């Protein structure tokens, strides 16, 4: 950096349907990440993010900001918006540094993104339906009166029961009847995770696999889920606790190009 110039911050703001993620880079490295629930109003969330950034000593005047995620249009102080597909790909590539097939399980949709030499070469999105998304696990955990963490731990101990319905609403009633039939909670938990994994399996076989499978999104910290996913896909699934921030990391990296 040239002496006397104020350091620039490169910021990625990823407003997802469930969680919002923020990453602040300086020239070299990640300075810090922020995570907060999106809540019902992404405009409010974006305001909150702004004050958090200021509290953390970030001078927005000397920042380049990219907003991504479904709430990307609700960030008036962003310099540019880029879709979460491109941002996730950049972020995942930054974390893994190899050719990847990224599986991003978001709150609202699930994406499979092929990343070659750091660029998106293909993507598939499951949308308009909560089947196979983070929201599905959340709802099922609620029905079973469990946290997502506990559900995923229990699942490892259970035997798979088949949840046939692809629709979240019908799957919920299926789970309720399983509970009524006295099926063990760990078995149902296993069934819930398997139903998502099967959905991903289907998407992946259509999409095609290139490079290493890399999981991003809120489920990356659920080790039992990652374990099951690897087992069922018959391929090692890589991830990192930072992978939750793949979208915001990618956004921050892309902000350097503005």
Residues at the site binding another protein, with contacts judged by CB under 8 A = 70, 82-86, 109, 119-123, 125, 127-128
**Residue 120 CB, nearest approach to another protein (Å):** 5
Judged by CB, which is closer to another protein: 109, or 174?
109
Q: Is the CB of 218 or the CB of 250 nearer to another protein?
A: 250
Cross-sheet strand order for the sheet of 119-126: 119-126, 110-116, 100-105, 212-216, 237-238
Least distance between another protein and beta carbon 83 (Å) = 4
Is 231 or 256 the residue whose CB approaches another protein more closely? 256
Q: In whole angstroms, what separates CA 127 from the centre of its chain? A: 14
Where is 157: in which H helix or E strand?
Answer: helix 148-157
Neighbours of 125 (CB within 10 A): 15
DSSP state of 166: -
Smallest gap from Cβ 183 to another protein, in A, equals 30
Which tokens go with 149? 């963490």
Question: Smaller CB distance to another protein: residue 106 or 224?
Answer: 106
Residue 193 C-beta: closest distance to another protein, Å: 25
Identify which of residues 69 and 224 has a Cβ nearer to another protein in the complex: 69
Residue 130: CB minimum distance to another protein, A:
12
Q: Which residues pair with 104 in a beta bridge?
A: 111, 216
Tally of residues, the chain = 258
Token pair for 98? 């190899």
């Amino acid at each position: 950096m040239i002496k006397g110039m104020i350091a620039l911050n490169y910021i990625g703001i990823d407003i997802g349907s469930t969680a919002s993620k923020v990453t602040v880079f300086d020239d070299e490295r990640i300075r810090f990440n922020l995570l907060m629930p999106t809540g019902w109003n992404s405009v409010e969330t974006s305001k909150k993010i702004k004050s958090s950034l200021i509290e953390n000593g970030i001078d927005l005047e000397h920042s380049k900001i990219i907003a991504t995620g479904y709430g990307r249009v609700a960030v008036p102080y962003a310099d540019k918006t880029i879709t979460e597909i491109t941002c996730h790909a950049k972020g995942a590539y930054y974390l893994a540094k190899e050719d990847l097939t990224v599986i991003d399980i978001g709150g609202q949709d699930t994406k499979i993104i092929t990343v070659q030499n750091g660029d998106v070469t293909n993507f598939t999105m499951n949308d308009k339906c909560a089947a196979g998304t983070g929201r599905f696990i959340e709802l099922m955990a609620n029905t079973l009166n469990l946290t997502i963490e506990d559900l995923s731990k229990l699942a490892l101990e259970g035997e798979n029961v088949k949840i046939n319905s692809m629709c979240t609403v019908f799957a919920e009633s299926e789970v309720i009847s399983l509970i009524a039939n006295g099926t063990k909670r760990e078995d149902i938990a296993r069934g819930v995770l398997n139903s998502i994994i099967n959905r991903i399996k289907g998407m992946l076989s259509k999409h095609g696999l290139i490079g290493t499978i890399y999981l991003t999104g809120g489920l990356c910290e659920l080790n039992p889920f990652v374990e099951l996913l690897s087992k069922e896909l018959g391929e090692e699934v890589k991830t990192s606790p930072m992978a939750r921030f793949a979208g915001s990391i990618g956004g921050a990296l892309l902000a350097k190009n503005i």
